[in-house]
Amino acid sequence: MDRKQALQLIKDTFENPFDKATFNKFIKNLLNFFDEARFIYQGNYIPDAYKQYIKSLERIGKYKNSEKTLDILIITLQKETSLERARTMQRNFVARYLNGSRGGDLKDAALVAFVPPDKKDWRFSLVKMDYTTHQTESGKTKVKEVFTPVRRWSFLVGENEKCHTAKSRLIGILENDEQSPTLDEIEKAFDIETVTREFFIKYRELFIRTKEELDKIIKKDPKIAADFESKNIDTVNFSKKLLGQIVFLYFLQKKGWFGVGRDDDWGSGSKHFLRELFEKKHANYHNFFNDILEPLFYEALSTDHSSYDDYFSKFNCRIPFLNGGLFDPIGGYDWVHTDILLPNELFSNSNPTKEGDTGDGILDIFDRYNFTVKEDEPLEKEVAIDPELLGKAYEKFNAIRPDNFEDYKKALKSGKKGEENKFNKQYGVYYTPREIVHYMCQQSLINYLYTELNPDKTYYQKLGDKNLDLFGNRFKKGQLDLVLEHREKPEIPKKDIETLIIYGERIKENEAWIERNGKETERYTYLLPESIRKNASQIDQALADITVCDPAVGSGAFLVGMMNEIVKTRNVLSDFIKDNQRSPYEFKRHCIEHSLYGVDIDPGAVEIAKLRLWLSLVVDEENIRNIKPLPNLDYRIMQGNSLISEFMGINFDESKEKNNKLFKNEFDEIITQFQIKKYEFINESNITRKIFLKKEIEDLLIKIFELKLKIQKSDYFKKLKNIEDTYSRLLFIVL
C-alpha cells in the first residue's frame, strides 16, 4: 500500500465512529493476511463477573507470526461510560479469553476494538499476556493463570479525536506489503515513549518561541517592563506557566467541561473548546491572549459563578470554577490593565512543518496529539499525552533560568548529546521512571500496612528463678531471671498484604461476583486471602489514616503514585465493606485533603506537583450536575528546604515544647487552631474568605515562631542557671 493510501485508510478508520467493514479492511492491510476464523460470544457466553460491562465479544480472525499467536477482536461495551471507567475490567476480560479459561488454547495477544453503544469514540488496543509458569508436583511446567500479568496499550480514536499519533506509529507497517509484522513490531507501534519524546521536542520549541515573543513585548513597552520588574516576574517563568495553563485546559476539555450550554450538564461541552475560541465561535477578539485567554484564565476559571449556574456571559456558555491557584496571575500582575499582545500567530498559523502538516502554533501542535487525563500505569498505557508529561517537562525546563537561557539555546543548537542534560545536573533535577516509582509505592504501602495492622505483641514467660537453674549452681549471686520470649503470629501475614497490593486489582471482578451472589462456586472461588477479607474495614481505615510526605517532591510522581495505589486498594476492599458512598473520586479527594504532603526547594516543582494532583482528581469527577471546586493545596504542597531544621534562627528540630510545661498548653492550643484553619482553607472557594483564612493561618505561624523563641529563651536561661549552680557547687567543694 502506498503512503497516500495508507494515510487515508488510517484517517477513515480512526477519525470516525467505529465501522466494522472499515476496521476489517484496516486489519487486513496492517497484517497483510490473517485467518478469518469468526465467532461471537454474547449473552450467557459472557462470564457473569463481566456481564454488566461487556455486551459481546466477536473474533474476526486469527494471526500467527514467529510462533506468536494474535487474535483480532471486537468487544462491544454495555455503556458509553465503560470506555473510560472500566479499563481494568476490560483488560482482565481479554486476559480471561487469551489464557484459555473457556477451554481454548493459550494465545499471546489480541488486537481489540473496544466499542461503546454509540460507536462515536472507541479504543484500538493491543492486549498482551506475560505468562508466568510454575512446576507441578509431577514435574510438569504449567502456566500460572490467576496472577498472569496482562498489559494493554491503546489509541483513543473516533470522531472527536485526531489520528496524528496513530498515523506516525502505524504508517510504516501499513506501507510494508512484502513482510508481515511480528508481535514485537506491532508492540513497538504502540510505544508511548516515542510519542512523548516527539511531543516534548515540539513543546520545547514552543516554550522558546513564547519566551522570545514576550521579550520583544517588554522591550517595546516600558509599562509592562516596569510591572514585571516590580512584581519580580521574568519571561522564562511566565512562558512556563502559560504553556502549563494551556496544557491543563487541553486535558480538561477532554472531559467536555467547556462550552457547555446554559441548561446542559457538565460533560456535554466541546472537546475542542480552545480551537473554537481561536476560531471566534464563542467570542470576537483582536488579540487572542489579551482578549480571550486572560479573561478565561483569570476570571472565568478562577471566579465562583455558581450563583449564575457557572454561566460566563463573555463566551455565552458554562465554565467550571476550578479554584486551586493555577489560574492566579503569575506574581499578581495586573492583567486587566496590562495589555500583553502576544501575536495571534504564536497560537495558530498556516506555516508548513517538516512533517508535512500545516501550522506550528501552540494550538496547532497540541491539536494533533491525543490527551488523556489518566496517568499511565505499568499494565495500562494510553498512546497519548498524559499528566506525567508535566513531570518530564519540569525535569527538562527547571534548570532553565533567565540568566542561562541563551546558554541553553546554544546547547540545543549544538546538537551535542548530553549538552541539555548538564543544566539539570547543575540544579540536581532528575526524573524517576514511573516503573521505579510504582515499585517504591507498592513496597512502601505493604510495609506500612504490615506494621500498622500487626502491632508487635510480645510477652515473656518466667522459667525458674535464675539462669543457672538450667545448669545447677543456683547459689551463684548476680544471675538474671530466666525468661522465654513469645511473639504472637501476625494477624495479617505480610504475604497476604502483598497479594492485596500487587494482585488485588487483577482479581477484583472475581471477588465482586462472589460477594454479589453470596457464595463460591466451582468456577468462582476466593483468591484474596481470608485475613484480608475478614479485616477489610480495618485495612481500609489504615489506608484512610495514612500520612505520606515527600521531602523532595519534585514533580509529584511519588505522591501521585502513592495516591493511586491507595485508591486502587481501597476500591478492591469495597466489595467487603457495606457502604454505598465509596467511589474512586471520594478516595482520591480524601487522600489529597488528608494524607499527602510535599516540600520542594523549587517553586516550579511545587506548582507541577499540585497540577498533577488536581488532574488526577479531575479524571474521576463523575457529577454531571455539580463539579466540586479543586482543593487549595497551598499548605499541603509547599516551597521550602526540608534539609534545614532552622528558620531565621529558630530551631524546629527538637520538640522541646513537649517537655516545657510552662508553654505546653499554649503551644498545643495554637497547633490545634492551625490545623482547623488549614482544613477550612483546603475547600474554601470564596476569594475573600480565602484571603482572610490565609491571613489567619499566617498569623498563627507567626505565633508559633514567637512561642518557639520563648521556649528557646526559657531553655537558654534554664541551662544558664544549671551551669551557674553546678559551677557554684564545684567552687564550694574546692574552697
Distance CA 630, CA 2 (A): 49
Return all residues near 429 (Cβ < 8 A) that are at least 6 apart. 394, 395, 398, 399, 554, 602
- Judged against a pLDDT cut of 70, whether residue 473 lies above it is answered with no
Are 554 and 609 contacting, i.e. CB atoms less than 8 angstroms apart? yes
Mean pLDDT of 363-389: 84
- Residue 611 one-letter amino acid: L
Distance CA 464, CA 81 (A): 70
Its pTM stands at: 0.77
For 674-700, what is each residue's pLDDT tens digit?
A: 788 877 887 776 767 777 888 888 888
For 382-407, what is each residue's pLDDT tens digit?
A: 888 888 777 777 777 777 888 888 88
- Judged against a pLDDT cut of 80, whether residue 184 lies above it is answered with yes
Q: Can you give the pLDDT at residue 198? A: 87
Q: Can you give the pLDDT at residue 320? A: 85
- Residue 552 one-letter amino acid: A
Return all residues near 172 (Cβ < 8 A) that are at least 6 apart. 189
* Largest Cα–Cα separation, the chain: 110
Q: Report CA dihedral (332, 337, 340, 344) to the nearest 10 degrees.
A: 120
Distance CA 549, CA 547 (A): 7
Helices (H) and strands (E) in the chain, counts: 25, 18
For 164-175, what is each residue's pLDDT tens digit?
A: 889 989 999 999
Distance CA 480, CA 464 (A): 11
Banded model confidence at residue 470, pLDDT cuts 50, 70, 90: very low
Q: Can you give the pLDDT at residue 140? A: 58
Every domain of the chain and the residues it spans:
3-186, 194-397, 437-454+492-643, 458-487, 644-735
Are 81 and 52 contacting, i.e. CB atoms less than 8 angstroms apart? no
Distance CA 639, CA 635 (A): 9
Q: Which of 122-136, 156-170, 494-508, 551-565 has the lowest mean pLDDT?
A: 122-136
Distance CA 96, CA 136 (A): 22
Distance CA 231, CA 195 (A): 38
Mean pLDDT of 413-439: 75
Distance CA 638, CA 640 (A): 6
Banded model confidence at residue 143, pLDDT cuts 50, 70, 90: low
For 339-352, what is each residue's pLDDT tens digit?
A: 999 999 999 999 99
- Judged against a pLDDT cut of 60, whether residue 582 lies above it is answered with yes
Q: Can you give the pLDDT at residue 428? A: 66
- Judged against a pLDDT cut of 60, whether residue 287 lies above it is answered with yes
Helix (H) / strand (E) element for 129: namely strand 121-129
- Judged against a pLDDT cut of 60, whether residue 660 lies above it is answered with no
Distance CA 528, CA 572 (A): 10
Distance CA 722, CA 405 (A): 57
